[in-house]
Structure 1
Amino acid sequence: MRNFMQMIPGGVSAVVVLVLASMLLSIVPGRPQMWLYPLVRQAMQFKIDYQTRDMPAKETPHFIVKYTEADADMADMVAKAAEAAFEPVTGALNYAPGGKILVLIYPDRQSMKKAYGWAGDASAMGFYWGGVIQVLSPKAWMKNAQSAEEFITTGPIAHEYTHLVLDYMARGNYSRWFTEGLAQYMEYRINGYEWITAGNQLTGQLYTMAELTADFDELPNQALAYRQSLAAVRYIAEVYGDAKLGQVLNYLKAGVKMDKAIEKTLGLDIATFEALVNQWAKGTMKEYKQAAN
């Protein structure tokens, strides 16, 4: 059997496809861009599925989990976690993608990082890309690699599945800060998990909403950018209610841009929204010292 890296598309080919897709989408205005986007995503999904056709797979009602022989004993755990995330996420977002979702298990961090020429955080346990959820084998990071409960509550499945559902729902029409905030909010809502560090306290200098929108992945303090994105989504859900968060999602689904979706839903311009989120977060959300106690 071919090794894992040979089964999935190489970094160069993936970059070429993404560049071509970006060029195609950039020349198509407004609404047509939203129906072209799913076609590009579907093409990438078909390619990944084909490239991994020789991998053993475990099917569940909503997912297909592919893995290497080294992770044969992890397939059930990952499949269980995926199914555990399905109802809470689709129920909260009121949307379920059609068909079965492909989940790939990478045996180690190196193969996960190199598969698509990805230069993400070395500590990441998974990512969503091209209609496919990709996760690091529990063996590579969990203290007890046989604990399904630990993987469900602290693993990346709920987070990455939220990315996927939003991507299918809004057809790419969302900001990076919003998809990361929503994914963290679902983790918080389902498992009570928050990413809190000494470096992402909300009481100090914060990024502006303009910075989060334009340069999310390039901001030097990624932990703070993620924490602020969670704060923004939690503010909408907890201050205005889940119905308002759902309204934002519906506007995005209809093709309304991010800032305008918030303005139309909450009656706030983005500057006022930013100020209110920051004020609320500083007085409401946990900080590092509090979480450590």
Structure 2
Amino acid sequence: MRNIVEIVPGGMPVIVGLILACLLLSMIPIRPQMWLYPLVREVVVMKIEYQTRSMLTKETPHFIIRYTDSDVDIVDMVAEASEAAYRPVTAAFNYEPSGKTLILVYSDRQAMKQAYGWSGDASAMGFYWGGIIQILSPKAWMRNNPSVDEFIRTGPLAHEFTHLVFDHLTRGNYSRWFTEGLAQYMEYRVNGYEWVTADNRLTGKLYTPEELDQNFDGLSNQSLAYRQSLAAVRYIAEVQGDAKLNQVLLYLKAGERTDRAIEKTLGMDYATFMSLVNLWAQGNMQQYSKAAN
């Protein structure tokens, strides 16, 4: 990733100002980074909006989509899928981000990987970072004659827009595994989509809570890490109830760590929670089989 001096418009003077703001905010008892984070995110959005001003642009009621000549024939599909994700996600969180969300569309994986120094999963169809949704053109991964319905169901927009809404709601206060579990849960709830592969069966050796908490992006089997994160969020919503999941979100919004938010909501320690999740997932979540795939 690029360093923050390269990312933030204005360079060092702005960074110094943000550091001084952080020092002042450290006198506030609730996690000072939660107050500073939205400011940094807005500065990043302004810079990327400026850097991409020469791209072609299409606006919808809630999104600004920027794309290149190669995607002129596909941008309406992106626009429709974006708006299809908006209402279900904002209704689920009872929260709407202010202004329009910027979506950048890249014609190929290499262009997306080079965007702003991104070094994420090479197979990803999109990613959320710094207040911006960035996606791979549907033409780069969908088969012949891609349809809007297929793109809505299997594309990345519900997932990435969930990241954005959750990020705004909690001011960045969450663990990586939880935001990925929540984004997948919204895909599952809205579109019925689950990422099921031969490598992410929940019936074998699983990652420990410590591994998920401390090194989510560095785990060798990313599909399993993601599947476990979905299992944890689905367990809260489907076994404990939607009200409990909403309470976890409220605790995160108030500044609690993810593990403490879950413990306070469910009345059990974190290790017990994860053990119950694993037991529940083995019998209640879809497992990969050749016949079904």
Supply the distance in 1 between the matched residues of 2:22 and 2:124 (Cα, whole angstroms).
30
Tell me the equivalent position of 1:234.
Answer: 234
| C-alpha contact 2:22 2:32 (8 A) present in aligned 1 | no
Deviations along 1:112-158, whole A, 9 cap, x unmatched?
00112222222110000110000101110111354111111110000
Aligned residue type for 2:180: E
Point out the more displaced range, 51-60 or 223-232: 51-60
Tell me the equivalent position of 2:251.
Answer: 251
Displacement, 1:107? 0.8
Tell me the equivalent position of 2:42.
Answer: 42
Tell me the equivalent position of 2:148.
Answer: 148
Supply the distance in 2 between the matched residues of 1:61 and 1:46 (Cα, whole angstroms).
20
Displacement, 1:205? 0.7
Displacement, 1:94? 1.4
Aligned residue type for 1:109: R
| C-alpha contact 1:139 1:145 (8 A) present in aligned 2 | no
TM-score, with length taken from structure 1: 0.91
Deviations along 1:184-205, whole A, 9 cap, x unmatched?
0000001111111111111111
Question: How many residues are matched?
Answer: 282
Displacement, 1:16? 4.4
| C-alpha contact 1:14 1:116 (8 A) present in aligned 2 | no
Supply the distance in 1 between the matched residues of 2:71 and 2:61 (Cα, whole angstroms).
21
Aligned residue type for 1:189: R
Aligned residue type for 2:228: Q
Aligned residue type for 1:278: N
Tell me the equivalent position of 1:74.
Answer: 74
Displacement, 1:31? 2.8
Supply the distance in 2 between the matched residues of 1:291 and 1:154 (Cα, whole angstroms).
20
SS state at 2:32 partner: helix
Displacement, 1:15? 7.6
Displacement, 1:179? 0.3
Supply the distance in 2 between the matched residues of 1:155 and 1:291 (Cα, whole angstroms).
24
Deviations along 1:27-62, whole A, 9 cap, x unmatched?
764432111000000000000001011111111111
Supply the distance in 2 between the matched residues of 1:230 and 1:195 (Cα, whole angstroms).
10
The gaps in structure 1 that reach 5 residues or longer are 1-10
The gaps in structure 2 that reach 5 residues or longer are none
Change (3 A) 1:14 1:118: farther
SS state at 1:166 partner: helix
SS state at 1:292 partner: coil
Q: How does 1:22-101 map to 2 (within 5 A)?
A: 24=19, 29=26, 30-101=30-101
SS state at 2:65 partner: strand
Aligned residue type for 2:113: K
Structure 1: which 4+ aligned runs deviate by more than 3 Å?
A: 11-18, 23-30
Change (3 A) 1:95 1:33: same
Change (3 A) 1:15 1:123: farther
Q: CA RMSD in A?
A: 2.1
The share of aligned pairs that are identical, in percent, is: 67
Aligned residue type for 2:272: T
Aligned residue type for 1:196: V
Displacement, 1:249? 0.5
Deviations along 1:200-236, whole A, 9 cap, x unmatched?
1111111111110100000111110000000000000
| C-alpha contact 1:127 1:133 (8 A) present in aligned 2 | yes
